[in-house]
Amino acid sequence: MNTKVLRLFEYEKYLLALAVTAMMFVIAKLTGHREIIFPEILSIVVFCLITKKQILTTNRLKMIILTTLASLIGVIIVRYIQIPIYFQILLGFLLPQIILILGKSNFVPIIAASLFPIYMKVTSFVYPSASFALVSLIAICQYLLIKQYKLKPINLQNKYFNKKVKTKHLLKLFIIFALIMILPVYYRAIFILPPPFIVAFVVLSNPLSSFRKYKSKVYLSMIAVTIIGILCRLIINIYLGFPLFLSAITACIMMFILIEKKNVFFPPIGGALLMPIILKENVLSLYWLEILVGLYIIFLTTSILFKREKS
């Protein structure tokens, strides 16, 4: 790809990312269905459109089906499984990963799709419908980008996928997650570990993840985008009174500049950016402190408890 074409590709992928994000917020405003706003959509956008290399860990159809199914699971848990929120969160964490193992997929953003309605008390089936529509749109955009610019995606579908190893890892992951969620739930501070951070926890718990090589950069980037999201929400939406989508678009632009300059294309930062944009105002006052605690827990546990086994 020559320099001119590469530049066009860079501009186009960011414009598409902004368009998808803006459309999500605008449709939510016009329809009055706030549950249409799903922060992890921006993580999927980063993964499918923004990354320097087009990496496929699952085919596009499976990505749509798995994300929609996980979204549906989250809503069903909230609507029909009347158990304490601690156990709802554990279910929302475990079930999508079982689906991933059965579907031989590594597309971990679906974990946030399942957890988000539990955290936000979403009971409307508009949420999985919107999830289906938005992920389908992202899949189409990715396909068009690959076709237009004749990209050769790196196909990692089912590569290194071993059901026995994945099941063993999930069991360990689930036990540790169940333990670290006890205090946040007990003290009613579940946003110490919001859904995008839990996805980051799952990604970084994989000893083979390339992101583990620069964990400090990932850590600082997660903090930075969360603070960007908080400030954009407070200044643009709450203090100046502009529509919520302007906060989201401004935050997205700032995030895109950050990940380009720092070369850190860690998908969960997309969800981390949008979480404070949609949280209630009274939650934001302590959110910056909660995320520092949550990220410290994530990076401590993944560093100590999930080391690569020596061969």
What does the pLDDT look like over 79-127, one tens digit per residue? 999 999 999 999 999 999 999 999 888 889 999 999 999 999 999 999 9
Q: SS3 for 154?
A: strand
Could you report the per-residue pLDDT of 117-128, keeping only the tens digit for each?
999 999 999 999
In sequence order, the 6+-apart residues with CB closer than 8 A to the CB of 252 are 17, 18, 21, 42, 273
Angle at 268 between CA 266 and CA 271, to 5 degrees: 135
Q: Please tell me the distance from the alpha carbon of residue 83 to that of residue 76, in angstroms, as a whole number.
A: 12
In sequence order, the 6+-apart residues with CB closer than 8 A to the CB of 103 are 58, 62, 66
Query: What region does 243 belong to: left with phi over 0, alpha with psi -120 to 50, or beta?
Result: beta
Low-confidence ranges of the chain (pLDDT < 70): 1-9, 52-58, 149-161, 309-311
Token pair for residue 57? Answer: 């860990």
**pTM exceeds 0.75, yes or no:** yes
pLDDT at 178: 97
Q: How far is CA 215 from the centre of its chain?
A: 17
pLDDT at 311: 46
